[in-house]
Structures are given as C-alpha cells and as structure tokens.
Amino acid sequence: MISKTSIDQVFEAARVEEVIGDFVQLKKSGSNFKGLSPFTDERSPSFMVSPVKQIWKDFSSGKGGNVVAFLMEHEHFTYPEAIKYLARKYGIEVEETEQSKEEKEEANERESLYLVNEFARDYFQETMHETESGKAIGLSYFKERGFTQATIKRFQLGFAPDEWEAFTSQALKNGYQLSYLETTGLTIVKGDKRFDRFKGRVIFPIHSLSGRVLGFGGRILINDKKAAKYLNSPESEVYHKSKVLYGIYFAKQSIAKEDNCYLVEGYTDVIQFYQTGIENVVSSSGTALTPDQIRLIHRLTKNVTLLYDGDAAGLRASLRGVDLILEQGLNVRICTFPEGEDPDSFARANSLETLTLYLEENTTDFINFKASLLAKESKNDPIKKAETIRDMVTSISKIPDHIKQEVYLKECSRIMDISEEVLFSTLAQLLQKERRDASKHQKTQTESFEVVSNTKQPVEKVDVQFQLERKIIELLLLYGHLEEYFDELIMETSVDGKLVNRLERISSKVYKKIYLDLQEDEIEFTNEVFQQIYFAIIDKFHQSGEIKLDQFINELPPSWAEMVTHILMDEEKHQLHHWDRKEIYVKQKNHVISQMVNETVLNLRRFLVAKKIEELSREIQYSEEQNEDQEGLQIIMDYIFLKKVLSDRLNRVL
C-alpha cells in the first residue's frame, strides 16, 4: 500500500500537460492543449488537455480523467503503478510496505509478464557487470562498439550467460512461475526440457513509451550459420512487435522538442546516434515498417527522416515504407550515408557537429530522393522512365493533403521534365481507381452480410432530468465560487387582494443560489452519483467557499472523477473546430452565468412539476374508475398554474 502522504505529494507535483506531453504531441489551444487521440486512429485532433483543471478528455473515444487515469488507460498501469511512475518522474520518494512473495503471485497476468521482464533485465545487467564471462564477452562487445559506460547503463544493456538454463533456474528460485517465463519467451519449454532463449547473446531491452520492459532483442556473438544473428522476444500480451519502436522511450521528448523523428534500422544505430548527441531517433528493429509504428511517431511529430545505409541492397524495396508514412499524413525526408557506412559507423566516427552538418546537407525531400534513385535505374530507357514517373505519382496519391499533392506534382514535373497536365491526369486516374476498388470492397462486404428486415429502430429518448442534473453539477464546478446578480420573483398581495409578481435583483454566490433554490423545493437528484457529487461540492463550498478543481477531482473515486471530467471538458469541445477561423464566434458562458443558473433550475422545476401532474392525473383517472371523490383535481390545477408561472419566467430568462 502506498501512503496517502505520498499520493498527495504526487498529485501536487504532477502536471497533466507534462505527463501526457511525453506520449502525445500537444499544441496550445487557448488556455488548453490539443493533440491527436492516442486511443484511436485519427488525423484531426480530438484530444484536449486542461492545465487549469488538471484533466484531459478524448472526444473520439469518450475517455477522460486526471493524470493517473491517463496512465491507467494508455499504459494499462494499475493505480499504484501510475503513482509510482509519477513519483519517479518528479523525484518523489514513495512510502509503501514491501511486496511479499504472495502479493507478487496475486498480481494479474499482464502485470506478471512485466515483472518477469523487469527481473530478466536486471539479471542480464547484473550478469554482464558482475560475472567474469559477462565482463569478458558481453561488456567487451559493447565497448568495442564504442558505447560508454553511461550509454550501456542508460539503455540497460546486458548479457545472457552461455548456459542452457542459467536464467530460468535463477528466475524460478526467485518465485517467478515457469508459465510466465514461457509466455514472455524468455524460456523455451519442450516437454520436460527447458532452456534459455537468449543464452550466449548480448541483450537489448525493448521499452514501451512509458519505459516498461516489453521484450528483448538478443545478438549472437559467434559465427553460427544455424543460429539467427538477432533474436527477438515472441509476441505476447505485452509485446507486439508491429506496435513497438526501439528507443521510443528515450527519444520521445526530443522528438516532440525537435519536431522530427529519425528512423533507422537497428538497435546499435539508435544507441550510437543517441550517444553522439542526436536523441530523436528510433528503430523498427529490423522489421518492415507498420502503420501502428507510424501512428506511434505521429503522436509526437508529423516529420520523419529515414536514414539508410549507403550500400543497402534493399533500398528500393524499403521505399515502400515511404508510401505508408505519406498515407498517414506525415512529411517524409530521406538521407543516405556514404557507401560502406551505416548510421552506427558514421555516428561513431564523427563528432556531433559533423554528423549534424551531414544530415542537414544530405537530407532531401522524398520526391527528389525517389526521382534520383529511380532515374538511375531507368537511365535512357523511355519505358522505365514512364514507370518511374508513375511510381512517383503513386506515392503522391497517398498524401491526404490536396495542397501538398499539387506542390509535389509540380516538383515531379520539374524534375522529370514532363507536363503538369499529364501528371494531374495520371493522379486523377489513380485516385478514381482507388475509389472504385474501395467501393467494390465495401459492396462485397455488404453483400456478405445477412439480409434483415427493414424495421425502424426505436429512437432513444433524451433523459431530460439527467441532462438538467448534469448541468447543475457543471455550473457548480465551473462558477459556484462566483458572485452574480439574480432576478428573484417575489409574489405579493396587491391592495385589491390579488397575487402579483415582482422582480427583485439580488447578489449571491452561485453555489448558494443553487443550493437554496433546490432546498426550497426539496429537490433531490435521481442520479445517485450526481447526488453524491453534489453533496461533495456543497460541502467543499461550505467549508472553504471555493473549489480547487484539480484537488477535488483527485479526491473523488475513479468513476466519479471520470464523470466530472466529462462534464468539465465538454465545454472545451468547440476549441477543436476553430469556429473563429470561420468567423463563427461561440458565446462565452461566463457572460451569461446568472441566466444559465436561472434557466437550468427553472427547467428542472418545470420538468418535475409536469411529472407530478402526470402522476396525479393517473391517480385521478383510477379514482374515477373506482367511483371515488376527486379532491386531487384542485391540486392538479394548482400544479398547472405553477407550471405556467415557471414557463412565463423561463420566457423572461430566455
């Protein structure tokens, strides 16, 4: 258990915009920040972060909450894990009781896989630094590659002893279950036999965006034609190769800061660049680039620079990744190194200044790079040149931005010495073909579905009372502390004995006005959570006269906190659409607070009165059927009169 003092310290220190900024590229939007949703695949921002309220809301998935809720949703942390992560980030010492062996065993399966991986990482590091074979083989290899002690420690590099089950035996001794060792791929089990997957290899831990160990890459150090040079952990519940980029944990802040991501092929490329001083670099770990990996980069930047070996045999094939990146709406630049060099060797042999200068001078736009590469292949062959041009236009067709498409087509026209009209015509044909293919695919899918009767689905009714109660909570949270003028309707008896209404302007705190109005009519919330949140808000105001939203939300149970977040962030939604750019100006709510309060309370009163009229009407109908008296009729007439009074007042408010 983590002490309440530690939790309070974490919430006090943590800034939601800083934490989420490690995972999502955020841009200023008024008093808030916005970015692409990390939970859905989108190209227009629907993710909003409020530094003032210390909450976030993802309008595309409907998720939201405080900083801990984000880590639990995005990184699948438990509550204690999220607190510990924030404590590490902000340098806070966590007070807690030590986790027993029994408690470790009770951890859920996903967490158990993480724990096994973390134990393995520590074991491989300790083996390399503390054993003779580790120092002689593993550590020597890394130092020969030019890695410093600080770099080796930073990337948590290690070594697995060249023994069949040294790691497995040690893990079992420490209480880790064989089933989890097998699931993570650290141990291979065949019948009664078991052995270490990475035996005799140097180890590269693979981290998530938040720094958790997902799996490992192991490089063999001997010439063995039967064994793979590199070996990765198999797919598991925590490790999906197609969704992971090596080095993303170490690079994420630099990528967001530099607004560019260098993409290389190998582990050592990443590490050598990082050590030289260029930190915004990641690797696809030798696998073909996937849309999920590109989307991971897209959260942090829209700019990708691909770095290729100068003599890479598969350079032509690797260009397929360019189209994938363009399709996701990112900007692509490419740089190749001199023949015989790769990012690792070039960075190792040169200073930061030389490397930076080389990248600046030799990085080119994808269209120029592709033109020069394909032009070499086509030479003076008209047919091959035509194929080259079509290949370039195909890449341009993947770009979702029409303005960029036109710019690139004009550039292609200049480079390849061909008319713009032909290129635009070719592009139109390609896009038309894509639409036809997509239409056919959709039609095929539709036809495969079972035909059902065309019956109308019932329209879901709006829960008026729910919406009004929700609105009251919103008003209390946002404006409860403010002093406003309200028009109160005072009923008086005139000289001739008739009831007349008189408006009187009074000054009151918003929370007092709402509280007294609801008390006067003895109104209670039908939604139980709203009722509890309402009492919690009123108690806060009675105690201190104000609410600090970030503290208040952190004190609520998670489900309540999520509901409060949705209420608070819904009003920020219009910022995502930039209505002001279209000369549509959204009226600020803080200009009409008293009107909103009066309107909401009056609408709730009127709704409850109408509900009461319905109930009494049913009772009277039953009484008539039973030949009973109809004394309730006068009561209904009184309620109808009250409803009319409320309606008249609403017309005045509106």
Over residues 522-538, the pLDDT tens digits come to 788 888 888 889 888 98
Length of the chain: 654
Look at residue 584 in the predicted model and tell me its pLDDT.
43
Provide the 3-class DSSP secondary structure of residue 282: strand
Over residues 231-281, the pLDDT tens digits come to 999 999 999 999 999 999 999 989 988 999 999 989 999 999 999 999 999
Lowest pLDDT segment from 10-24, 31-45, 138-152, 452-466: 452-466
pLDDT class of 604 with cuts at 50, 70, 90: confident
For residues 414-442, one letter each, b for 16 or more C-beta atoms within 10 angstroms of the residue's C-beta and e for the rest, the string is ebbebeeeebbebbeebeeeeeeeeeeee
Look at residue 498 in the predicted model and tell me its pLDDT.
65
How far apart are alpha carbons 198 and 589 in whole angstroms?
61
Dihedral (Cα; 576, 581, 584, 586), 10-degree rounding:
40
**Is the pLDDT score of 203 beyond 60?**
yes
Look at residue 585 in the predicted model and tell me its pLDDT.
42
Is 4-89 a CATH 3.90.580.10 domain?
yes
Radius of gyration of the chain (CA): 33
How far apart are alpha carbons 149 and 128 in whole angstroms?
12
Q: Nearest-CA neighbor of 283 among 217, 360, 338?
A: 217
Q: Which residues contact 418 (CB under 8 A, 6 or more apart)?
A: 389, 412
Phi and psi at residue 29, in whole multiples of 5°? -145, 90
Is 248-433 a CATH 3.40.1360.10 domain?
yes
CB 476 within 8 A of CB 537: yes
Over residues 434-470, the pLDDT tens digits come to 777 766 666 655 555 444 545 555 555 668 888 888 8
> How far is the CA of 459 from the CAs of 182, 456, 462, 463, 648, in angstroms?
51, 9, 9, 12, 30
CB 318 within 8 A of CB 312: yes
Q: Classify residue 500 as exposed, middle or buried by CB count within 10 Å of its CB (0-12, 13-18, 19+).
A: exposed
pLDDT class of 578 with cuts at 50, 70, 90: low
Q: Of 251-255, 514-518, 619-623, which has the strongest mean pLDDT?
A: 251-255
Of 215 and 28, the one with more pLDDT:
215
Tokens of 241: 């190769």
Of 200 and 401, the one with more pLDDT:
200
CB 59 within 8 A of CB 570: no
**Is the pLDDT score of 646 beyond 80?**
no
HEC string for 81-130: HHHHHHHHHCCCCCCECCCCHHHHHHCCHHHHHHHHHHHHHHHHHHHHHH
Give the Cβ contact number of residue 222 at 10 Å.
9
Q: Which long-range contacts (CB under 8 A, 24 or more apart) does 352-361 make?
A: 352/276, 352/277, 352/278, 355/273, 355/276, 355/277, 355/278, 356/278, 359/262, 359/278, 359/305, 359/335
Q: Under CATH, what is the fold of the domain 104-239? A: DNA primase DNAg catalytic core, N-terminal domain (3.90.980)
Query: In the predicted model, what is the mean pLDDT of residues 494-510?
Result: 74
CB 343 within 8 A of CB 337: yes
> How far is the CA of 636 from the CAs of 469, 523, 624, in angstroms?
25, 19, 15
**Is the pLDDT score of 171 beyond 90?**
yes
User: Of all residues in the chain, what percent carry a pLDDT higher than 90?
Assistant: 35
**Is the pLDDT score of 359 beyond 50?**
yes
Domain ranges of the chain: 4-89, 104-239, 248-433, 464-547+592-653
Look at residue 309 in the predicted model and tell me its pLDDT.
83
pLDDT class of 497 with cuts at 50, 70, 90: low
Lowest pLDDT segment from 158-167, 208-217, 280-289, 343-352: 280-289
Over residues 118-142, the pLDDT tens digits come to 999 999 999 999 999 999 999 999 9
Look at residue 606 in the predicted model and tell me its pLDDT.
82
CB 206 within 8 A of CB 185: no
**Is the pLDDT score of 390 beyond 60?**
yes
Query: In the predicted model, what is the mean pLDDT of residues 185-204?
Result: 95
Lowest pLDDT segment from 58-62, 168-172, 221-225: 221-225
Averaged pLDDT score across all residues of the chain: 84
Tokens of 476: 């209390």
Look at residue 457 in the predicted model and tell me its pLDDT.
54
Give 202's strand partners: 159, 219
Tokens of 189: 């089990």
Under DSSP, the state recorded for 433 is H
Q: Of 312-316, 401-405, 438-442, 447-451, which has the strongest mean pLDDT?
A: 401-405
CB 236 within 8 A of CB 212: no
Look at residue 562 in the predicted model and tell me its pLDDT.
84
How far apart are alpha carbons 290 and 41 in whole angstroms?
14
Look at residue 653 in the predicted model and tell me its pLDDT.
46
Look at residue 332 in the predicted model and tell me its pLDDT.
93
CB 21 within 8 A of CB 27: no
